[in-house]
Structure 1
Amino acid sequence: MKNIKLALLSSAVMLALMGCNESTPKSETTPTTAAQPSVKTESASAQLDTLLTNYFEDGLQFNPIGGTYIGRNEFNDDFIAPINEANRNEQLNFIKEYKNKLANIDKAQLTGQSLLSYEILARDLDLAIEGSQFPSHLMPINQMGGAHNTFAALGSGQSAQPFNTVEDYKAFEKRADGFIAWLESVEQSMRQGMKDKVVLPKPLAEKLLPQFQTHIVEKPEESLFWGPIAQLPESFSDEQKAELTSAYTAMISERLVPAYQKMADFLANEYIPNARESIGYSELPNGKAWYEYQIKQHTTLSLNADEIHDIGLSEVSRILSEMKKVKEAVGFKGDLKAFFEHLRTSDEFYYDTPEALIAAYEEVKEKIDAKLPQMFDIAPKAPYVVKAVEDFRAESAAGASYQSPAPDGSRPGIFYINTFNLKAQPKFLLETLSIHEAAPGHHFQIALQQEIEGLPLFRKFGGYTVFAEGWALYAESLGKELGLFTDPYMWYGRLSDEQLRAMRLVLDTGFHAKGWTRQQGIDYMLANSSMAESDIIAEVERYIAWPGQALSYKLGQFKIQELRDYCKKELGDKFDIKAFHTQILIDGALPMPILEEKIKRWVSEQK
C-alpha cells in the first residue's frame, strides 16, 4: 500500500571516497541529559532495539524489491503482493500492531539515539495510518513511478538484481511470475478506479502506454529481458546456458510479452478513453484533504497549500532578478525573455552527442570531489559512477537522478543523466546538477547514511524526501563557497536549478489546490525559465503525478539554511561549518521537526 511507509529505499531515491576521513562514521549517541542510564532506561532501550529490528525484518515481506536493493538475496525471487483488500488490510494491521508495541515502551526512559528512533517511528506509523483513508491503490502506477519500471530495470541485468549464478537466473524467473500476478491486480485496481472516479489525468495515462508497448516484441532477443542471456557468465556449462536460454525464451514470449500486451490493450482501449480531463487532486473525491496529506507526508512540515504557493511566487520573483544580473554581466543585448530563448536554442550551450555529455559530467565529478574537504570532515566510502538513463525509460524520466550503492560495496552509487534530449541538458547545468545528484548532494547523504554504524536498519535504508532533496538543494548553495560557479553561465545554471525548485512550489500547489491547467503550468515555466519545452512538459507531468513531492526541495533547503543561520548566531566564533554538516548528516534522514530539535540540543551542548 503506497501510503504505508516501510522506510525502505527500493529504487532510484540514493563521491568517490575522500581522503579527509576514511573511518566509518558513527551516529550521535550523546544523551539528552547528563544522568547515568538506569536499569529501567537500559530495559526500555533494549525493548526498542528489539522492536526496531523486528519492524524492519517483518516489513521486508511487503517490499521484497527493497530487500534486493539492500543486498538481501533471499528476496530476489519474490515480488510485491497483488493489490487487493486482504493484502492492504494485512499491511495496515502490520502498522497498527507496531504502533501498539511502540506505545508499550516508556518513551520517558529513552535518550540519545534511542529517543530519535522512537520519535521517528511513532511519527511514521501515525502518518501511515492517517494515509490509509485515501485510495491510492486505485492509481497504483503512473508515468513517473511504479513497480512496472522497477521490474524492467531489474530484469535488464543492469540494476540491483544479480545474475551471477544459475540460481540467480531462476530467481528472476520466479520474480517474473510474481510481477505478472501483480500486473493483473494493477489492471483490476485501475478498473475499480474507473468506477469510483479515481483515475489518472489523460496526459499521464497516455505517457504510461509506451512504457508497456516497448516490451511487446516479436523475438525474445529484442526484449530488454534478454540482457542477462546475452551476458551469460563464461563459468556456466554449455548445458546450463542452453537450459537458461530456453527458459528465458519461454518466459519472455509466453508470459511477459502477453502480460505487457494485455496491459497495453487495457490502457489504450479502456483506461485512456476514461481518464479524467482534470489534473489536480482537488478534483478527486476527498481530494483537498488528500492533497494536504501529501504535503504533510512529503515535507514533514505544517504548511498549507496557500502558504507554500505564496512562498513560491516570492522566490520566483527574487531569482528572476538574479538572472537579470547574469544577463547583464555577460553583455547580452535584449530582455530576459530573449535571453532565455538564446540559452534554449544556441548550439554553444549544448553537446552534440550523449558521449560528450557523459564525459563532461565525469570531468566535473573529479573537480568537485577535490574541493569537498574544504567543508566536510566526513565522506562516504562508496564511490559513484556517471551513466546515461536506459533507453526504455528515458522519454519519461527526469533529467537526472541518483541510485544508491549496494550496502555490501558490490555496486557503486549511480548518477544518471538523461541523454534522450540533449537540448534539455545545457552545459551551464554541469556543476549544479553534479552537486545535487552526486557529491555533496544525494550520493554524499544517502551513501553516508547506509554506512553509519549503529543506525537502526529502518533508518539506514529509510528516508524523507524533504531531507534528501532539501539537503541536495542546500548542497548546491555551497557551490560558491567551494570555489565553483566562477563562470557567470555556471552561476546562471545554479540560479536556473534553484528557479526550477521555486517554480515547483507554485505549480504543485497551483495544480492540486488552485485549479491550474496543465497548459497554464507549461506557460508559467516557459515565462520564468530557460528550460527546454520538452523538459518543462516532463516536469509539469511529474508534478501532476506526484502531488507534494516537488515541494520538498525548496522547503527542505529553507529549513537546513535556517538551522545553519541559527547555529551561527548562537555559537558565534565557535561555529564550525564542517561540524554543522556532520551534525546534519550523521544521524541519517530525519523529519524536519525532529532534525530541528536535535540541532538545537547540539547547539546547547556547545555553549
Structure 2
Amino acid sequence: MKKSLIAFTLIAAITGCTSATDEANKSETKVAVAQQQESEKLALLFENYFNDSIDLSPISGTYVGLNEYNNKFSAPISAQSINNELEHEQTYLKQIEAIDKSKLEGQDLLSYEIFLRDRKLDIKGFEFNSHFMPLNQMYGIHNSFATLGSGKSAQPFNTVKDYQDFIERSQGFALYMDSVIISMREGVNKGYVLPAAIIEKILPQLAVHIVKDAKDSVFFGPVAMLANNEQISPSEKVKITSQYEDLILNTLSPSYAKFHDFILNEYLASGRATVGLSELPNGKAWYEYQIEKNTTLPLTAEEIHKFGQQEVARILAEMKQVKQQVGFSGDLKAFFKFLQEDPQFYWKNEAEVVKAYTDVKNDINSRLPALFEVFPRADYEVRAVEAFRAASSAGASYQSPAPDGSRPGIFYINTHNLKAQPKFILETLSIHEASPGHHFQISIQQEVQGLPMFRKFGGYTVFAEGWALYAESLGKEMGMFSDPYQWYGRLSDEQLRAMRLVVDTGLHAFGWSREQAIQFMVDNSSLALSDITAEVERYISIPGQALAYKTGQRAIREMRNNAEAQLGDKFDIKKFHTQVLIDGALPMPILAKKIQAWADNQ
C-alpha cells in the first residue's frame, strides 16, 4: 500500500513536471508566434511605406533601380499634392504606433524606433512652408533633372523604351516647373522669398539650357550615345534623334526659358536683402527644426555657435604649428596668402585633377584593411562636375552606385575654378568623399542584407557627413598625411567644417549678413574667396545642413572614446567601425545606444 502510494505520488510529481513543461513550451510558442506576427506586420508596413513614397517621388525609384518608374514624375506642387504627402506620413505614423513594440527585438526594434522617430519629425516639417521656396542654386529639380537627362546619371538610355521613358518623364517635368512658378509667386505674396544674392546664382543655371540648336543641350547627350548602341536599329536611331530634337526645342528649352524669364523679370525684384531663415515667417522655429533634422541631436544654436568658435581657435593653433614645421617665417595671414597664391599648390588643368584623385584612390584603398573588416562591393570613379552646373556647385560631392552594381559610385570634383582645388586637400578630400568616407558608408548601407528599403536608401545628414569627417580623422592612423602640406589640407578641411558651425548659426540665428559671414571665413582660413563665397551662399540656401559635419564627427568620436575607455585592451577598432556602418545610417542617439550595447556585450 505504501509502495503504491509512493509510486502514485512519484507519477503525479512527474506528470506535474511534464504538465508544467508543456505549459512553459506553449507559453514560449505563443510568445514566438506573437513576435513573428508583429515582425511580419512591421515588414509589410515598411514595404508599403517605401512603395508609396516612390509613387509620390518617382525619380527616387529610378535612383534605386526600379525601372518601372523611369517615365514618371512627381505631381505638380499644389495644396492637394502637399496634403497627399502629409496624409502619407500621418497614415504610416498611425500604423507604426499600432505595432506592439514589446514584441520586437533586434533589427525589428531598431527599425521601429527609427521609423517612429522619422514619421513624427517629417510631419512636424509640414508646419513650415518650404514649398514656397522649392529650389535654390545648390539643390533643385532644374539641376538634378538636367543631370538625370544627360545620359551620365541614373536614368538608363539603353533601349528604345528607355528613350521613350525619358520623353514621357520630361512632359511631367515641364508641368512641374509651371507649378514651381505658381508656388514661388504665392510665396512672394506671403513673405517667403529667396535672398536676392541667391536668386542671381540660379539664372545662369537656367540660361545654359535655353538653346536654339538641340545639339547644344545637355539633354542631347543620350542621342550622342546612340552611335555605340547595338541594341537599337538604325531606323529607330533616326526616329529617336528626331524625337529628342523636338523634345529639347519644343518642351525642355521652352520650359527652362519660361522659368528663367519668371526669375529674371518678376521674382528677382522681390528678392530679400536679408539672408537668415529667422527673417521669414515662423523662421526661428523653422531654424530650430532644421537643427533637429540635420543633427538628430538636442542642440541649440547657441551651443553650436560656441562649439564652432572653440574649434576654429583650436584648429588655427594647429595650423600655426604646420607653418613653423615647413619653415615659413611670416605670420598666419601671410602663410594663408602663400598657400593661396604659390603655383606649386595648384593644378594646371582638369585632367591633372582627375588623374591625381584617381591615383590617390589606389593608395588609400591599399591602407584600409588596417582599420576595417567590412568593405563595399561597389567601386567608384572620379569625374569632373559637368560644366552646366559647375559654377554654383560644391567643390566636391558623391553620387551613390546603382544597387544592382550596374553603375559605380561617382566622386565628383569641381574643376570650374582650379584655385578652389589646391593640391594639399587631395588626401583629405578623397578620404571624405570616397573611401572610407561617403562611398564606403553609402555603398555598404545599400549592400547590407535584410535592411528594410527605407533604411537601405534613406539616411541622415549627421550620420553621412559625420562619418565622412570622422573618416578624415583616421588619415594618420592609415599612414596618410605624412607630407605636412597634406596635413595642413586635413586641418583646412576640418576648419571649413568648424567655421560652418559659426557661420550657419550666425546667419540664421544671430542676424549675420552675407558679407559678415564671408569675412569671418576669410580671416580664419586659406580658402579661395570664390570658394568662401560659394560656401556662404550654400549655408544661406540650405540652413542647418552644414551643422551636421562637426556635430556628427564629435558624436562618433565620443562613442569611440567611451568604448575604448570601457573595453581597454579588448577594444577592436575594426569591429567598432563595423558596428557603426553595418546597420546603415542611424540618428545619433540611436547609434550611441547601439554602440553602448555592443560595448557592454564584449
Please give the range of the TM-score, normalised by the shorter of the 2 chains: over 0.9
Residues 311 and 498 in structure 2, CA contact (< 8 A), matched pair in contact too:
yes
Q: Take 1:604 and 1:36, find their aligned partners in 2: how far apart are those partners?
A: 30
Secondary structure (helix, strand or coil) at the match of 2:238 reads helix
Q: 1:564 aligns with which of 560, 575, 599?
A: 560
1:313 aligns with 2:309: yes
Residues 276 and 509 in structure 2, CA contact (< 8 A), matched pair in contact too:
yes
Q: Take 1:79 and 1:175, find their aligned partners in 2: how far apart are those partners?
A: 6
1:467 aligns with 2:439: no
Q: Take 2:194 and 2:281, find their aligned partners in 1: how far apart are those partners?
A: 13
Residues 137 and 202 in structure 2, CA contact (< 8 A), matched pair in contact too:
yes
Query: Which residues of 2 match residues 249-264 of structure 1 at below 5 A?
Result: 249-264=245-260
Query: Which residues of 2 match residues 357-368 of structure 1 at below 5 A?
Result: 357-368=353-364
One-letter code aligned to 1:212? L
Greater relative contact order, per chain length (Cα 8 Å cut-off, separation 6+): 1
Q: 1:52 aligns with which of 27, 46, 50?
A: 46
Q: Indicate how the Cα distance of structure 1 residues 36 and 603 shifts in structure 2: closer, same or farther if over 3 A, else same.
A: farther
Secondary structure (helix, strand or coil) at the match of 1:95 reads helix
1:388 aligns with 2:387: no
Q: 1:89 aligns with which of 71, 83, 87?
A: 83
Q: Which residue of 1 aligns with 2:539?
A: 543
Per-residue CA deviation, residues 499-526 of structure 1 (Å, 9 max, x unaligned), is: 0000000000000000000000110111
Query: Which residues of 2 match residues 150-299 of structure 1 at below 5 A?
Result: 150-232=144-226, 233-299=229-295
1:302 aligns with 2:298: yes
One-letter code aligned to 1:61? D
Q: Indicate how the Cα distance of structure 1 residues 368 and 35 shifts in structure 2: closer, same or farther if over 3 A, else same.
A: farther
Q: Take 1:478 and 1:231, find their aligned partners in 2: how far apart are those partners?
A: 41
Q: 2:135 aligns with which of 141, 159, 166?
A: 141
CA RMSD of aligned residues (A): 1.1
Q: Which residue of 2 aligns with 1:3?
A: none
Q: Which residue of 2 aligns with 1:592?
A: 588
Q: 2:70 aligns with which of 66, 76, 99?
A: 76
1:109 aligns with 2:103: yes
Q: Indicate how the Cα distance of structure 1 residues 40 and 539 shifts in structure 2: closer, same or farther if over 3 A, else same.
A: same
Q: Take 2:487 and 2:414, find their aligned partners in 1: how far apart are those partners?
A: 22
Cα distance, 1:38 vs. partner?
Answer: 2.2
Q: Which residue of 2 aligns with 1:506?
A: 502
Cα distance, 1:298 vs. partner?
Answer: 0.5
One-letter code aligned to 1:118? Y
How does the TM-score come out when normalised to structure 1?
Answer: 0.93
Q: Take 2:348 and 2:476, find their aligned partners in 1: how far apart are those partners?
A: 29
Q: Take 1:325 and 1:279, find their aligned partners in 2: how far apart are those partners?
A: 36
Q: Percent sequence identity over matched residues? A: 59
Secondary structure (helix, strand or coil) at the match of 1:246 reads helix
1:333 aligns with 2:349: no
Cα distance, 1:242 vs. partner?
Answer: 1.5
Q: Which residue of 2 aligns with 1:528?
A: 524
Secondary structure (helix, strand or coil) at the match of 1:231 reads helix
Q: Take 2:161 and 2:476, find their aligned partners in 1: how far apart are those partners?
A: 51
Secondary structure (helix, strand or coil) at the match of 1:387 reads strand
One-letter code aligned to 2:104? L
One-letter code aligned to 2:165? A
Q: Take 1:42 and 1:361, find their aligned partners in 2: how far apart are those partners?
A: 49
One-letter code aligned to 1:543? Y
Q: 2:395 aligns with which of 389, 399, 404?
A: 399
One-letter code aligned to 2:294? H
Q: Take 2:234 and 2:575, find their aligned partners in 1: how far apart are those partners?
A: 57
One-letter code aligned to 2:141? A
Cα distance, 1:249 vs. partner?
Answer: 1.1
One-letter code aligned to 1:542? R
How does the TM-score come out when normalised to structure 2?
Answer: 0.94
One-letter code aligned to 1:438? A
Q: Take 2:98 and 2:67, find their aligned partners in 1: how far apart are those partners?
A: 33
Q: Take 1:231 and 1:482, find their aligned partners in 2: how far apart are those partners?
A: 41
Cα distance, 1:112 vs. partner?
Answer: 0.7
Number of aligned positions between the proteins: 573
Cα distance, 1:37 vs. partner?
Answer: 5.9
Cα distance, 1:243 vs. partner?
Answer: 1.1
Query: Which residues of 2 match residues 306-455 of structure 1 at below 5 A?
Result: 306-455=302-451
Residues 137 and 198 in structure 2, CA contact (< 8 A), matched pair in contact too:
yes
Q: Which residue of 2 aligns with 1:66?
A: 60
Cα distance, 1:235 vs. partner?
Answer: 3.4
Cα distance, 1:35 vs. partner?
Answer: 12
Q: Take 2:171 and 2:144, find their aligned partners in 1: how far apart are those partners?
A: 15
Per-residue CA deviation, residues 8-64 of structure 1 (Å, 9 max, x unaligned), is: xxxxxxxxxxxxxxxxxxxxxxxxxx9996221222111111111111111111111
Secondary structure (helix, strand or coil) at the match of 1:550 reads helix
One-letter code aligned to 2:279? E
Residues 158 and 231 in structure 2, CA contact (< 8 A), matched pair in contact too:
no
Q: 1:583 aligns with which of 579, 586, 598?
A: 579
Structure 1 portions without partners, runs of 5+: 1-33
Q: Take 1:36 and 1:338, find their aligned partners in 2: how far apart are those partners?
A: 74
Secondary structure (helix, strand or coil) at the match of 1:60 reads helix
Q: Take 2:433 and 2:219, find their aligned partners in 1: how far apart are those partners?
A: 28
Secondary structure (helix, strand or coil) at the match of 1:207 reads helix
1:99 aligns with 2:93: yes
Cα distance, 1:234 vs. partner?
Answer: 3.6
Q: Take 1:203 and 1:194, find their aligned partners in 2: how far apart are those partners?
A: 16
Q: Indicate how the Cα distance of structure 1 residues 246 and 289 shifts in structure 2: closer, same or farther if over 3 A, else same.
A: same
Q: Which residue of 1 aligns with 2:481?
A: 485
Secondary structure (helix, strand or coil) at the match of 1:38 reads helix
Secondary structure (helix, strand or coil) at the match of 1:573 reads helix
Structure 2 portions without partners, runs of 5+: 1-27
Q: Take 1:279 and 1:533, find their aligned partners in 2: how far apart are those partners?
A: 19
Q: Take 1:573 and 1:39, find their aligned partners in 2: how far apart are those partners?
A: 41
Per-residue CA deviation, residues 413-438 of structure 1 (Å, 9 max, x unaligned), is: 01110000000000000000000000
Q: Take 2:466 and 2:416, find their aligned partners in 1: how far apart are those partners?
A: 27
Q: Take 1:221 and 1:280, find their aligned partners in 2: how far apart are those partners?
A: 41
Per-residue CA deviation, residues 283-341 of structure 1 (Å, 9 max, x unaligned), is: 00110000000000010000010110000000000000000000000000110001001
Q: Take 2:112 and 2:31, find their aligned partners in 1: how far apart are those partners?
A: 17
Q: Take 2:384 and 2:142, find their aligned partners in 1: how far apart are those partners?
A: 20
Secondary structure (helix, strand or coil) at the match of 2:451 reads coil
Q: Which residue of 1 aligns with 2:22?
A: none
Q: Take 1:36 and 1:480, find their aligned partners in 2: how far apart are those partners?
A: 54
Cα distance, 1:238 vs. partner?
Answer: 2.3
Per-residue CA deviation, residues 254-276 of structure 1 (Å, 9 max, x unaligned), is: 11111111111000011011110
Secondary structure (helix, strand or coil) at the match of 1:526 reads helix
Q: Which residue of 1 aligns with 2:122?
A: 128
Q: Take 1:605 and 1:43, find their aligned partners in 2: how far apart are those partners?
A: 28
Residues 159 and 231 in structure 2, CA contact (< 8 A), matched pair in contact too:
no
Per-residue CA deviation, residues 503-552 of structure 1 (Å, 9 max, x unaligned), is: 00000000000000000011011110000000001100000001000000
One-letter code aligned to 2:280? L
Per-residue CA deviation, residues 58-81 of structure 1 (Å, 9 max, x unaligned), is: 111111111001110001001121
Secondary structure (helix, strand or coil) at the match of 2:156 reads coil
Q: Take 1:277 and 1:139, find their aligned partners in 2: how far apart are those partners?
A: 16
